[in-house]
Structure 1
């Protein structure tokens, strides 16, 4: 009620950004841990159905807390992961939904989760096909990923996606430096599975980078 009253006093209820309470934080933690389990521990053939189920949970979260940027960020992450697991042109509608979720998060709080909306949106622009099939745009990806780096210059995800972008741009020496820095990122409490899986992805990409440099 106090947060509601504060919004009324500001005269901008429709624009009010709600802070997460402990129950919201627990829901977010559960979503993060479920995502890591699906992404890094389930067999590939089981991921599509599992992400579909998790997407229903994140959709419920955003409907109940539609002014919480963190909920929209994770709705975008889960939906884009679902699209990635499904693959093919049929996944493009999900990718567009993920883009909309991440853009919504940026309108609410660009700094939420240390700029994670910029990171995830930048990755989408990097990986989605360009016009006329999709909205992919490497220049837009670089712009967004640089904003993410300004907010979280030492984060494992930020540096991984920046390194991946540099690799895609054939800037191999820069990519290697970013990925090596990513491996030195501080552990995230409660995100152990995600950190382990991400490090495996970084190490695999470093192998590809080294091949290009040799």
Structure 2
């Protein structure tokens, strides 16, 4: 059985502005402003996620959660904010650990589902990848809502929407490793490692690549 103490390393950050800045008719998309509104949250999330001191991480994620709650209250129809609140809650749960974190991941699931239902915004691929990651990392019923079939379905949707994204490839690879499908996982790890760098996401990409390289090295040792 999976345990809730598994670290929820959901580094699902801003998609390239070039993909979402313009609508089909060439005019500036109104969602560009929504994406800009979460840029500071993304930067602060990355700092909190890779902070070495756990107590400081908890304080940082608690602060981020308070901030995003205020933003959601101000813009309840903004799908981007629900995606990022789900990500922050899931990351916070990973730091807290134990059964006390289960309520946070359940709330994260609700937020991500809300973002998908609202549709639009800049993070629909991230919403699906995040939700899929929760489904395979959280324990199954009666403790949690874990479900490997739903996990793969959402992860594949996220991958189809963002086939070259570092995170959509990375988290699908993690799922495949969890399912003992290591040969399949390797190609997605390699795609993630060579994925295009994201504008303004240098630190997050650097840390993600480090995690990917560790997994590739571990796989090679097991052969």
Common fold by TM > 0.5 = yes
Which residue among 123, 145, 148 is the counterpart of 1:113?
A: 123
Report SS of the residue matched to 2:189: helix
Higher-helix-fraction structure: 1
- Over alpha carbons, which structure has the higher Rg? 1
TM-score (normalizing by structure 1): 0.86
1:32-111 superposed matches below 5 A: 32-109=42-119
State yes or no: 1:197 paired with 2:195.
no
Answer 1 or 2: higher relative contact order, Cα 8 Å, separation at least 6. Answer: 2
C-alpha separation in 1, matches of 2:121 and 2:31: 14
TM-score (normalizing by structure 2): 0.83
Match of residue 217 from structure 2: 207
C-alpha separation in 1, matches of 2:87 and 2:60: 14
Query: Bigger shift: 183-192 or 43-52?
Result: 43-52
Which residue among 159, 181, 186 is the counterpart of 2:191?
A: 181
C-alpha separation in 2, matches of 1:209 and 1:155: 22
- Structure 2: 5+ residue stretches without partners: 1-28
Deviations 1:6-26 (A, max 9, x none): xxxxxxxxxxxx94464x444
8 Å CA contact 2:135, 2:150 repeated in 1: yes
8 Å CA contact 1:36, 1:193 repeated in 2: yes
TM superposition shift of 1:33: 0.3
8 Å CA contact 1:167, 1:209 repeated in 2: no
1:149-188 superposed matches below 5 A: 149-188=159-198
Report SS of the residue matched to 2:91: helix
C-alpha separation in 2, matches of 1:133 and 1:64: 33
8 Å CA contact 1:126, 1:138 repeated in 2: yes
Number of residue pairs the alignment of both structures matches: 195
Match of residue 31 from structure 1: 41
8 Å CA contact 1:154, 1:181 repeated in 2: yes
TM superposition shift of 1:204: 1.8
Q: 1:132 to 1:110 in 2, by over 3 A?
A: farther
Report SS of the residue matched to 2:95: helix
- Structure 1: 5+ residue stretches without partners: 1-17
Q: 1:60 to 1:111 in 2, by over 3 A?
A: closer
Q: 1:72 to 1:114 in 2, by over 3 A?
A: closer
8 Å CA contact 1:128, 1:135 repeated in 2: yes
Query: Bigger shift: 183-192 or 102-111?
Result: 102-111
